[in-house]
A and B are shown apart, each in its own frame.
Chain A
Amino acid sequence: MSGMNSGINVNDPTVVAAFKSALLHQGLIALLIFAVLGLAWITVRAWLPVAQAGDPAVPAGPAAAALAEPAWRQLLRIGFGLLWVFDGILQAQPKMAIGLPSQVIEPAAASSPHWVQQVVNWAGTTWSYHPMQAGAAAVWIQIGIGIWMLASVRGPMSRLAGLAGAGWGLVVWVFGEAFGGIFAPGLTWLFGAPGAVLLYVVAGGLIALPERAWHTPWLGRAILAGTGLFLVGMAVLQAWPGRGFWPGISHHQPGTLASMTQDMAQTSQPGFLSAWVSAFTAFDEAHGFAVNLFTVVALALIGAAFLTGQRRLARPAVIAFTVLCLADWVLIEDFGFFGGLGTDPNSMLPFALLALSGYLALTPGPAAAVQPASPEPAKSGWRERIRPASVRRSVATTSIRSVAAIGAFGLIILGAAPMAAAQTSPNADPILAQSIAGSAAALNFPAKPFQLTDQHGQAVSLASLHGKVVLLTFLDPVCTTDCPLIAQEFRAAGQLLGPAARHVELVAVVANPIYHQVADTQAFDRQEHLTQVPNWLYLTGSVPQLNQVWKDYGIAAQILPAGSMIGHPDIAYIIDRAGRVREELNSDPGPGTTATKSSFAVLLANAARHALRSS
């Protein structure tokens, strides 16, 4: 999938350090947000006596009302809140900034239809272009949603937390999980279908339900029926012949399930976990038919029991389902986050939480005992609510949970805002190029003069470019790898400069002592679509002329034997308007992906702008 993979090593020290630094800085801001809010809350409570407990003027606040939250909702809110926090922490893994598109998103979409890959590729490319901002955004948004859910017990803020969870979950399910793989072959509940985050979406939707729906008798039956119908469907798919789940071993190879668990067992994880998964693999290889039969029957029976909506059947079914989920989570999903780049604990915990909440919702609970949180504001209009006294009362009665929820919202903004700002630029973050090129060397000495011939056969000297910033590099016109990429980066840098490009000349000197005719440079220009770039010069000359320029600029153009291209260093010089060399960049394009090319173009354009400003 083009664009998704930046090609940078996931452990690249430059990117990892920058990601850690971004998280640290944003973490400090997050702490500051909570500290300021906490301080403000304490101050308000100290200064406004109306907030004191036992004051008859203070209506029953959220703390009192929280008791009325039904158990099923409490379970979903706390369970999924903790899951979001955990997922956010997983997103802070150092490899995540570079690795998520290539090691999580791309494999997830690899076997999906083309249109799914297209959709996912867009998101992966976006992430690859701005790995710092995207990585940090995922961390803070998910931790923020989690804290928000945990802190907000009821009221609009709590419902909004559910909606935020559902909305973000949908984004992750579509773009991060490639629709949970539901359009890919081999769909099975055992491996996590229909995608863990879709269950987060469902949970978020349930948390966002209005309070009047909390105690309706149909809610529990609907949750269980939806889950039950899905499980029955999954049982049918599991039983479907030809999908590879029945045999433990097929053609001397592990069957679908054993193959999956075998791979899982080989990922890095504590030894005892690997041993458990390996043992299950061996068991499945030996008794594949029985394992699948058990799975099919269990899913079908549990699903059917859920579908009845009867409490006496649902209770043992929920217990059995929870046990099954836990067994699957340990033995097949391998806890979901060991090995590779785990982004969540996979689908079994959310499934168990959802089923359990459905069961709890079958019993309406003490709905009659619920007291309205604060009937007064509901009756009063907005004019009443913005009166200083009302505002003071609202502020004074704000609970610590509400403060935490506001802080959590701040966390989400903290993550989302830089990402949104980055999105306004279609160009990749220069950190990618910096990770390949290392730091540029700042220089200040007169550039050695030269006189060569351009691609149109006209004589060009460095002196004739005086007054312009020159981005100078050395390209082999018949090079198969780096040179075409560097030329594309130069062309893109020229475009990024906009009107300033008229003060910048993009110059390449031929770096091949054999293929150095003007016709060679013209063919190269046509190949790289440089013929219409007004400030592009591809210079060549006789071998003695070229040798002199190479010597002056530290280029060793080596003729290598046996079908190798000319060996020469990838270097770019930034020469200011006064003809002084101001910077030397390692222009090795690295993996040459769309992200790194864009990143190098930004780096070059920034260097040119800097030279324009400083001369």
Chain B
Amino acid sequence: MNRRASLISLALAATILAAGCGSTASQTATPASPATRLSLATSLATATGTWAVAVLGGSAASHNNFWQLFVRPAGARRWRLATPPGVASNGGLVLAGLASGAVLAGFRPSQDLSYSPLATTKDNGKAWTPSLLDAGLADVAGALAADPASGRLLALLTGGTAEISGSGGTAWTRLASRHTLAASAPGRRCGLGGLTAAAFSPSGTPLLAASCVRPRTAGIFAYADGAWHSTGPALPASYARQSVTTLQLTTTGRTITALLAAGSESAARVLAAWSADGGTHWNLSPPLPLRGARPTSASFGPGGAVAVVMTGGHAESITSTAGSWRPLPALPARTATLAPSPSGGWDALAVHRAKLAIWRLANGTGAWASTQAIKIPIAFGSSG
């Protein structure tokens, strides 16, 4: 055979062969599992009512899932739909309590909308006053916080920045970014991963929560005197090998409540922390081992009550005064979140397609009782 022809043939076949081999051999290593993250489904107790956020819809497609806001006015036993009108809620809803029981709802961006319309109600959702945040709220339940005393708002935004407003939600300015906070001294000590929640202390100090890479460090930061300070709880030595993520941070009355997640996989556990002095001293709950489950929703009630819904239809609750986590009876199917009930127990909000079912666990009883069902008039297909 002609030598040149042989060489060309060889080169051609070798190229094709190499391409085939090369394209099949590449197997990238699986990245480490991300930190536990809660859904936007949660509840909020105010002086005039209890609020809950849950997603309903007909399909897995995000544009047919609509987040809804429900309210049970103080003294009432029944819930009603209170979603603010005028904006598609496919991206999610986040809540913040204002003064005198008023509530601020923020729409998360979705599809081609990149900023967050806001709505305020002073009458438990009968009427809403629209406003606007010219940026997108982050995809965490604690993305929006309000200081009832000053009327300032704090927002955690997509892209990992935090903005603070003047009184009444006007004149927004940048307070911090993940980058600047990570570069600060407390941020470096934490090995800051990402921002996870925003809150105000009872005295009106802006607080940001974060995930920390450095073990045994709870990432809660306070902005005072023009600088960020670490204000999270000191964790015992049993967390010496575990990274900690602050899943949720909220202020009720004089108490700051944080829900923390530590460790991963079989060693994963959550714990609650309470501070009654603005973050100087904290009480820690015992750890709640997750045993393979994953927390999906956290809710907060009066007296520092915390309830955590986990995968597998399991939930646990604790109060700041109780010594240990208390398992709740097996949750009703498709429970999205829990909300404090009028009787001192919890209401389970179970969602299925366009229907919300309310189940009540009265304090001291051992079973959930169905109390209400609401059919939601979702306009399927209206978002694309």
Contacts and interface: CB of A to CB of B under 8 A. Distances in A.
B16 interface: yes
A225 B384 contact: no
Given A478-B113, A484-B112, A186 B86 contact: no
B27 to A, nearest CB: 9
A519 interface: yes
A545 to B, nearest CB: 17
B19 A562 contact: no
Given A562-B377, A563-B90, A519 B14 contact: no
Nearest to B16: A194
A360 interface: no
Contacts of A561: 81, 83, 85, 377, 379
A480 B90 contact: yes
Given A186-B24, A515-B86, A563-B67, A480 B110 contact: yes
A523 interface: yes
A216 B1 CA distance: 11
A337 interface: no
Contacts of B2: 216, 218, 221-222
A67 B20 CA distance: 42
Contacts of A42: none
A520 interface: yes
B144 to A, nearest CB: 17
B384 A564 contact: no
A481 B117 contact: no
Contact of B23 (A182, A216, A513, A515): A182
Given A187-B19, A236-B17, A479-B113, A526 B134 contact: yes
Contacts of B90: 480, 563
Interface residues of B, number: 50
A237 interface: yes
B1 A225 contact: yes
Contacts of A233: 13-14, 16-17, 20
A517 interface: yes
B130 interface: yes
B378 interface: yes
B86 A478 contact: yes
Contact of A484 (B14, B20, B87, B113): B113
A566 interface: yes
A481 B9 contact: no
A20 interface: no
B130 A515 contact: yes
B114 interface: yes
Contacts of B86: 478, 512-515, 559, 565-566
Contacts of B14: 229, 233
Interface in B114-169: 114-115, 117, 128, 130, 132, 134
Interface in A510-548: 512-515, 517, 519-520, 522-523, 526-527
Contact of A564 (B8, B128, B383): B383
A563 B89 contact: yes
A229 B13 contact: yes
Nearest to B134: A523
A236 B20 CA distance: 10
Contact of B16 (A182, A526, A567): A182
A522 B134 CA distance: 9
Contact of B383 (A194, A309, A481): A481
17 contacts: A187-B20, A193-B20, A218-B5, A225-B1, A225-B6, A226-B9, A229-B14, A309-B1, A480-B87, A484-B113, A485-B112, A517-B132, A519-B132, A561-B81, A562-B377, A563-B93, A565-B383
Interface of B: 1-2, 5-6, 8-10, 12-14, 16-17, 19-21, 23-24, 63, 66-68, 81, 83, 85-91, 93, 107, 110-115, 117, 128, 130, 132, 134, 376-379, 382-384
Given A234-B20, A559-B86, A565-B383, 19 more contacts: A182-B19, A182-B23, A187-B23, A222-B9, A225-B5, A229-B13, A240-B24, A478-B113, A478-B117, A480-B112, A483-B112, A485-B112, A514-B86, A527-B114, A562-B83, A563-B66, A563-B67, A563-B87, A564-B379
